[in-house]
Every structure is written in C-alpha cells, then in structure tokens.
Amino acid sequence: MEYLKNGQIHTALTEGYSSEGYGVVRLDGAVVFVPRAVRGERIDLRITRVMKTHALGEIVKIHTPSPERAIPDCPYYGRCGGCDFRHLSYAEELRAKRQRVQDALSRIGGADVQVEEILGAKKPEHYRNKCQYPVGPRGEIGFFQARTHQVVPVDRCLLQPEVCDRTAHAVGSWMKRYKIPAYDEATGRGLVRHVYVRANRKGESLCCVVVNGRKVPREAELAALVLAAAPKTLGVVLNVNTKKGNVILGDQYRTLWGQDFLMDTLCGLEFKLSVPSFYQVNRDQAEVLYGKALEFAALTGEETALDLYCGAGTITLCLAGRAKRAIGAEIVPAAIRDAEENAARNGVNNAAFFCGDAADTAAMLEAQGLRPDVITVDPPRKGLSPEVIASAAAMGPERIVYVSCDPGTLGRDVKLFAERGYRALRAAAVDMFPGTRHVETIVLIQKKNS
C-alpha cells in the first residue's frame, strides 16, 4: 500500500463489489474501493484515502460504461445514506447481493455450500412498513448522510410509503408552527429526536414521536396535524428517550391519541404490532422469506420447533401451523405480549412464548431437557453469541434454520456451528431491502452424519 498516494490517478478494471456496495478495483494487489463503480467497467480513479489494508477512490472517468449502469432515480442519492445501488440495474444489484452472501459463507464461514438463488422483489420501491426519520438539530427531517449523523432533509423517499412521508412532514409542520425544539445530540438539549411510523397492508398507520422528555407542548395539535396529513392514522404515541447514544427508542410510551398498535396480515395470519415489536420491514418479501424458511425446516407435523428472537411471533406461528409444538423466545416484553395475543387471535393453541435473553432462554430450555427437532434463529445484525450457539447445539436438533440480515456475522456463526458438529447444507438469499446493500439470507444447518 506504500506506493499508493492521495491524489494519484490510476486506470483499472472494476472486478466486483464490496460488502458496502462499492466497486472493487485491484492495483498491483492493493484493493481500492470506489463508490458507484460498476462491475466490468474500466475507469480512471483518483485515490482519496490510503489505509493499512485498502484504499478509497473516486471515479474520474468511465472508459467503458457497463450496460448494467443506471441513472439514479432519486435526487437525494449520494447525499442520503439510505440507498447504495440506485446506479445499478436491479438484475445487477441482485447479482451483487448473491455474490456477497456466497463470499461470506465460503470465505468467512468456510462452508462448502452454494447459494442456490436470490429471490428478488416484485415491487422494489415503497416497500418499507416501518420508517424511522431522524430529526436534525435545526428541525430538519429526513435520513442520515452515509456514515454521519448529519440529517439530509427528504421530501419523498423511494423506499418509504407515501403515508409515512406525509406523517413525518406533519410532525415537522407541528414543530415549526409551535416552535417545538429539535434534539441536538451534541448538547443533549431539545425535544424531538425521531419520527417513527408503521404502516400496514390497508394503508393504516401508527405514528410515534420520540422525544427527550416526558411530554411535549401542544399534544392535541400534534395529533390533529398528523390526522389531517394521514387520515388512516390509528394512533399517535409519544416515546420517552432521555439517554444519549444511537438507540432510537426509549422504554416508556404514552398514547396521545387513538391506540398504540395496528394490525397486519402476513402469511395468512393476523398480527398485532406495537411500536417496539420486531416485524420484517418488507411484508411481501417476508412472505417469500418465511416460505423458504419453512421449506428448509421440512416439518411433518410431529416436531417440536424452537424459534429464538421470535419478535411478535411471526416465524413461530408459521412453524406452529406445520409442527406439533412451537416455542418462541424474545427479550422485548411488549413483543412477547403481542406474540401471545397473536397466537390467541389466530387460534394457534400449540405455541408458547418465553420472555428473556436468547442465551439465557436457550440455556434454561436446555437445562429443562428440551430437545427440539428444529431450531430457527433470526438474530439482529450482530448475529448469535457463542453462548446461544453452544446451547442450541447442545439441544441436538436435527436442523437449524438460520435467518440472517448480515452475511458477515452469518458466515462467522456458520463456522462456529461447524465446530459443534453442524454443517451448512443449503443456502438462499432474499432481497428484503431493494436499493440498499443489505440482504437477507436463509441457511439450513444440519447435524453432521444425520
């Protein structure tokens, strides 16, 4: 890397994509990541930063533009950090994501398994049913610029439903009209931190305003402005978060108007969702994802299935429809309450739920002698802890179905399962997040020699 200097211009071929969605170029063995470079393009690039293991560059000239290059259809692209692939055709985006998953399983996980397919979205725009808008210190509402906490004001987002954008702008209008101060994370002062909106299949929505305090002025006027902008709003909720840091939601809620939940349908089941309940943000692709997870689980109706990180019980209840017994575990109390209500609402009598940390719950169930036939896990981006992997393997299930939103931690965990007698047998990717570098993966991990 010593021969690379800031400002140098080189000509090279873009070979592929990094996990961040950058084009990958190699200069005499040195790796350079170049934003918006497309596979197969020969480019002139300028070195912008040199680090120990790689360098960053920027495009100066494209000699041979790829047929997969697209004109970005969003005016905020390049400033807002929400999207990574709006300069690619959707086919090329899917190819890049499938390759990212394959590389993680092979290189990080050491697994001899092929990613069978990537299941693309039929509707790659306006798919998010949960929208979280940060509020800047001057009251600007939008999304963070990439790798910063600088808010880029956004009027209309191609990933969010229109009702969510209208709701966020209504909160902004309330702030301006009544001089409600925004939160400034640098000083810890001010009130409004985030606007959080959930929307369901019917177009109904739930608005949550996250504030640095226990109340705000003009609460009735807030609800009225939200309702005027989004008439199908079912509730306006205040969330209290007085802690410094990046966590969006605090632990306390108060309903200002209406109700603190909404209903949605997924895989033929009806779910009650409160603000903190985990629920896949792309409903249509979630049905594709869960269908593939059930295929990998290969249930016959005689099994006991354990679902760790169950959220509002979506996967658990899908498993219950094909298993003899299903058990869900989740650390968020409100999500467990929703899961139990969802089971009752859908007439599911063979599902039970535990509230607790996944590692503690897995260890407790193992100590009680539970021997599930199938375990499903759908952890957050950080993946599974070694304790969860140890307890899950100790229960001796025939199959573990791992649903992951981060290929890197998935690869790491696949390798750890292999050390405990399990091997990755099948893998598929699902594009839950079109336009972004993120991708969902399902891996069937099976006990060796079974």
Residue 76 has pLDDT above 90, yes or no: yes
Q: Binning pLDDT at 50, 70 and 90, where does residue 311 land?
A: confident
* Every domain range in the chain assigned CATH 2.40.50.1070: 130-260
* pLDDT digits 0-9 by tens, 143-190: 999 888 899 999 999 999 999 999 999 999 999 999 999 999 999 999
Query: Mean pLDDT, to the nearest integer, of 32-42?
Result: 97
Which residues have CB under 8 Å from 246's CB, separation 6+? none
Residue 191 has pLDDT above 90, yes or no: yes
Counts of helices then strands in the chain (DSSP H, E):
9, 22
Query: Tell me, what's the pLDDT at 91?
Result: 98
Query: Mean pLDDT, to the nearest integer, of 272-299?
Result: 94
Torsional sign, CA 207, 213, 215, 218:
negative
Which residues have CB under 8 Å from 321's CB, separation 6+? 348
**What percent of the chain is predicted at pLDDT more than 70?**
99
Query: Tell me, what's the pLDDT at 364?
Result: 85
**Beta strands 422-430 and 115-119, pairing class:** parallel
Q: What angle do CA 102, 70, 131 make, to 5 degrees?
A: 70
Coil, helix or strand for 100? helix
* pLDDT digits 0-9 by tens, 130-147: 999 999 999 999 999 988
Query: Mean pLDDT, to the nearest integer, of 289-314?
Result: 95
* Every domain range in the chain assigned CATH 2.40.50.140: 9-62
Average pLDDT of the chain to the nearest whole number: 95
Query: Tell me, what's the pLDDT at 1?
Result: 63
Residue 2 has pLDDT above 80, yes or no: no
Query: Tell me, what's the pLDDT at 450?
Result: 63
Size of the chain, expressed as the number of residues it contains? 450
* Every domain range in the chain assigned CATH 3.40.50.150: 93-123+282-447
* pLDDT digits 0-9 by tens, 334-378: 888 889 999 999 999 999 999 988 888 888 888 888 889 999 999
Query: Tell me, what's the pLDDT at 408?
Result: 97
* pLDDT digits 0-9 by tens, 83-142: 999 999 999 999 999 999 999 999 999 999 999 999 999 999 999 999 999 999 999 999
Q: What is the C-alpha to C-alpha distance for residues 210 and 322, in angstroms, rounded to an integer? A: 39
pTM of the model: 0.93
Question: With respect to CATH, is domain 93-123+282-447 assigned 1.10.10.10?
Answer: no
126 neighbors 160 (Cβ within 8 angstroms): yes
Question: With respect to CATH, is domain 130-260 assigned 2.40.50.1070?
Answer: yes
Q: Binning pLDDT at 50, 70 and 90, where does residue 279 land?
A: confident
CATH number of 9-62: 2.40.50.140
Encode burial over 254-277: b for 16+ CB neighbours within 10 A, e otherwise: eebbbebbbebebbebebbbbbbb
377 neighbors 309 (Cβ within 8 angstroms): yes
Query: Tell me, what's the pLDDT at 218?
Result: 96
- The backbone torsions φ and ψ at residue 32, rounded to the nearest 5 degrees and listed phi first, read -125, 130
For the chain, the helix, strand and coil percentages under 3-state DSSP, each to the nearest 5: 25, 35, 40
Which pairs count as long-range contacts for 221-228, CB under 8 Å and 24+ apart, including other chains? 221/174, 221/177, 221/178, 222/171, 222/174, 222/256, 223/256, 223/257, 223/258, 225/170, 225/171, 225/173, 225/174, 225/177, 226/167, 226/170, 226/171, 226/174, 227/257, 228/170
448 neighbors 422 (Cβ within 8 angstroms): yes
Which residues are catalytic, by number?
405
Query: Tell me, what's the pLDDT at 192?
Result: 98
